[in-house]
Amino acid sequence: MNAITLLRFKNSLLGRLLPTRIAEQHAQLFLTPRYFPPKDWEIQTEKQAQRLTFAENLSALRWAGSGPRILLMHGWESRATHMAIIANALVTQGFDVFAIDAPRHGQSGGNKSNPMEFARAIVEADIAFGPFYGALGHSMGGAALAIACEQGMQIQRCVLISAPACLQDVLQGFARFMGLPATCTRYFIARIEAEVGRPAKELNSGQLLSLTPKPALLIHAPDDREIPASAVHSIRRYLKDADILQPPALGHRKIIRDSIVAERIHTFFSAGLSPDHAG
């Protein structure tokens, strides 16, 4: 019996005996991002961009350009430096690029982190550095971008990479992976909803973006093991005119470091510009 199988067996047993306690433990696990030390290339990235602070305890990197402004939002347990390949592809074509660290990620402060906190950081960045012509979100950052648009952020184009279709799906998938029984799963989801402040079913990326229609590019690798590739089609049901890109063999995280993906993102953002602003 391997470690994962043993963990699931333990959760299945204890989740029936102590459902609220096990649900609380897993809610804390789900809501607490792990920290990974920066790699050498990230240190170099810091030297190539400008570090900014905003909204008291939030941090961002800027790759300054003379063209329209683009906002980049990373995913869970990631940070602004991880968006460097995309940022460099955009700034090379003249865009003015801001990549922000979500609360409790990178160099941003904060006592908690969840999709609503990610969205709050996006809205704060829009106030501090906007208006933005376009924005991109990876994974939870994509879900947060949809929430920020619902909350009033106005952009002309958006890109979602490896984004979940709905928070409800993410929570149920996590509970299944951890082996939580049905009652414990219900307590777990209720605990997350209490922390987030909204029902999980309401945080539907495609539905939220459809409230303020705009050209969208949806990117998702077929071999993504963290967010199922089916999510991209669930999102597109609400965004009938959205473009879909499904690059092979890039998984959930390598996808934001792929130069071909970065070039497609640049092409998408450039397509909406007048000749005077095109890079």
> Could you report the per-residue pLDDT of 37-92, keeping only the tens digit for each?
999 999 999 999 999 999 989 999 999 999 999 999 999 999 999 999 999 999 99
In which element (H, E) is residue 170 found? helix 167-178
Q: What are the beta bridge partners of residue 219?
A: 161, 245
pLDDT of residue 265: 98
Over residues 156-171, the mean pLDDT reads: 97
Q: How far apart are CA 218 and CA 239, in angstroms?
A: 10
pLDDT of residue 1: 63
Q: How far apart are CA 177 and CA 266, in angstroms?
A: 36
Given a cut of 70, whether residue 278 has pLDDT beyond it is no
pLDDT of residue 102: 97
Given a cut of 70, whether residue 276 has pLDDT beyond it is no
Low-confidence winner among 4-8, 157-161, 163-167 (lowest mean pLDDT): 4-8
Over residues 212-218, the mean pLDDT reads: 96
Q: How far apart are CA 213 and CA 43, in angstroms?
A: 38
Q: How far apart are CA 239 and CA 212, in angstroms?
A: 10
Ramachandran angles phi, psi of 54, nearest 5°:
-155, 160
Of 278, 277, 270, 254, nearest to 85 (Cα)? 254
pLDDT of residue 187: 97
Given a cut of 60, whether residue 255 has pLDDT beyond it is yes
pLDDT of residue 111: 86
pLDDT of residue 56: 85
pLDDT of residue 273: 86
pLDDT of residue 7: 87
Of 115, 59, 106, nearest to 81 (Cα)? 106
Of 189, 203, 109, 192, nearest to 151 (Cα)? 203
pLDDT of residue 277: 57
DSSP classification of residue 42? H
Pairing of strands 216-219, 58-63: unpaired
CB atoms within 10 A of CB 96: 18
Q: Give residue 160's identity as a one-letter amino acid code.
A: L
- Could you tell me the pLDDT band of residue 2, with boundaries at 50, 70 and 90? confident
Ramachandran angles phi, psi of 86, nearest 5°:
-65, -45
Given a cut of 80, whether residue 26 has pLDDT beyond it is yes
Q: How far apart are CA 183 and CA 226, in angstroms?
A: 24
Query: Mean pLDDT for the chain?
Result: 95
Given a cut of 90, whether residue 207 has pLDDT beyond it is yes
CATH 3.40.50.1820 fits 41-166+203-257, yes or no: yes
